[in-house]
Chain A
Amino acid sequence: MTLDSPSTVSTTSRRGTATAATRVLGALTIVMIGWLGVFGLLLSPADRDQGDAVRIMYVHVPSVWLAYLAFIVTALASAVHLFGKSHSLQADRVAGASAEIGVVFMAVTLVTGMLWGRITWGVYWQWDARLTTTALLFISYIGYLAVRGLEGSRSQRARRSAIVGLLAVLEVPLVHWSVKLWRSLHQEATVLGTDLDVSLDGLMLFSLFVGVVAFTLLFLWLLLHRSRVLMMIDLSAETGLDAALAQRRAEGGVTP
């Protein structure tokens, strides 16, 4: 994921954010998602108890995986920015791009999860540890994105975001622990466990695997493009700066 070689910069600024590598990656992603459609909707069998509803799983589970993967990447990139010697802005952009993707797929997770829950448990929502942690995490990362949007110098924004990104990591186990402890004292409420309740046969497992691979590729593809877009925004601010400087100096009657 090294995106900032000079050649990349010049290519991307002329032709958008795609390179040969990302085109291949994009094509692979499309193929895999097509495969996922074929396996998930046609080849894999319906569940004994849940019927066709089980097919939501092929979107739901990979989305959870992707969202958590994205947040892990955000945390790692935040750490690289904060503790790395160069305080790399590239790491900051990766953190930001990854969090945006994570939030989107967290939303997908919650929506598909609720639909699936409505069909299988009869309710949209259960106050179990996993669901509740996910929902709180979703809100926390919306907060993280709000922090990213705050005013300030570029380096200040990057540092602030990195700290909040790392604090969010402290939050996850504590929230999970608290909700879990809470629910374990109210066993009567969880008549229905939120484990998959599905006996996975080989083909279903394989379809799920296809889904996870497809979504991982999708994540990489989105991450590359989004962080390049963020880089271009930074670059345009840089080039805009020269013009802005010249204009500002002209106010004072200084010509370059």
Chain B
Amino acid sequence: MSSVSRLQTVRAVCAKDLRIEQRSKVLTSQIVPFALVMLVLFAFALDGDVILERTAPGLVWLAMLFSSMIIVQRSFVVEIADGALDALRVAGADMSGVFWGKWFALIVQLVVLEAVLIVGAIVMYGIDLQISGLVLLVTSSISATCGLSAVSTIYAGLASGVRGRESLLPLLVLPVASPVLIGATRAAEAAFGAGGTVVSEGWPWLGLLSVFAVVFSFGGSLAFGPLIDD
């Protein structure tokens, strides 16, 4: 029965996750509004156009990080609500494939959220984005998202079966994800030209973000099976 290739498992899991999201619309009807509210609240808390323009990259990525916790929780609630994760285990599904599938589906959702947040920041915080900055912004955001998705998927999988997972997940993910926050924020800063930075200053961060993404994606695909499957 194990004639199925890993790629097929990845595709099946990813398509399934995205279809569920498309049907339930949790991302568009709850998480995107939540993230936008955060942008508004940051503006209240920091009060002042100059500060907001300067800190916009950090605020966007903080909002991303917190919202991603909710999205990834949701991605695993779907699996345990009716015992599907157990069923996956019983069906002998390739857990690495499951990891990559969930990883990719999460990336798609996070990229949508990012796009909304960046547009939101441009509108609300008065940011000026040039074409050269846009290229940096897109590439760095995608690398950062790959890393963030990997870390979140690993630890959400670990926490999925246990009591108190809602509070455990941020404790595990946020310290590990701090390089992503630093890297993505600095790169976005350079892309926006915030605080007098120039675009070229942003590129070194892409290296860090890519290494992070590669290390934790492959680490996760190795670790996911043994973490879930016992």
Seen from chain A, the residues whose Cβ lies within 8 Å of a Cβ on chain B are 82, 136-137, 139-140, 142-143, 146-147, 150-153, 155-156, 159-160, 163-164, 166-167, 170-171, 174-175, 177-179, 181-182, 185
Asked if A178 contacts B182 (CB within 8 A), the reply is yes
Q: When chains A and B are docked, how far (Å) is the Cα of A255 from the Cα of B226?
A: 39
List the 4 closest pairs (A to B, CB-CB), nearest first: A178-B179, A156-B230, A139-B175, A140-B175
Q: Which parts of B194-230 form the interface with A (CB within 8 Å)?
A: 201, 204-205, 208, 211-212, 215-216, 219, 223, 226-227, 230
Q: When chains A and B are docked, how far (Å) is the Cα of A166 from the Cα of B226?
A: 13
Q: When chains A and B are docked, how far (Å) is the Cα of A136 from the Cα of B176?
A: 8
Name B's interface SS.
helix
Choose among A156, A175, A185 the residue that contacts B179 (Cβ–Cβ < 8 A): A175
Q: Determine if B102 is an interface residue (Cβ-Cβ < 8 Å).
A: no
Q: Determine if B37 is an interface residue (Cβ-Cβ < 8 Å).
A: no
* Chain A residues near B130 (CB-CB < 8 A): none
Residues of B in contact (CB 8 Å), total: 28
* Chain A residues near B227 (CB-CB < 8 A): 159-160, 163
Asked if A174 contacts B211 (CB within 8 A), the reply is yes
**Residue contacts A-B, CB under 8 angstroms, 21 given:** A136-B175, A137-B175, A139-B171, A140-B175, A142-B171, A143-B172, A143-B175, A146-B171, A147-B168, A152-B161, A160-B227, A164-B172, A166-B223, A170-B216, A174-B179, A175-B176, A177-B179, A178-B212, A181-B183, A181-B205, A182-B182
B218 to chain A, nearest CB (A): 10
Q: When chains A and B are docked, how far (Å) is the Cα of A6 from the Cα of B114?
A: 59
Asked if A151 contacts B171 (CB within 8 A), the reply is no
* Chain B residues near A167 (CB-CB < 8 A): 154, 176, 219, 223
Q: When chains A and B are docked, how far (Å) is the Cα of A160 from the Cα of B224?
A: 10
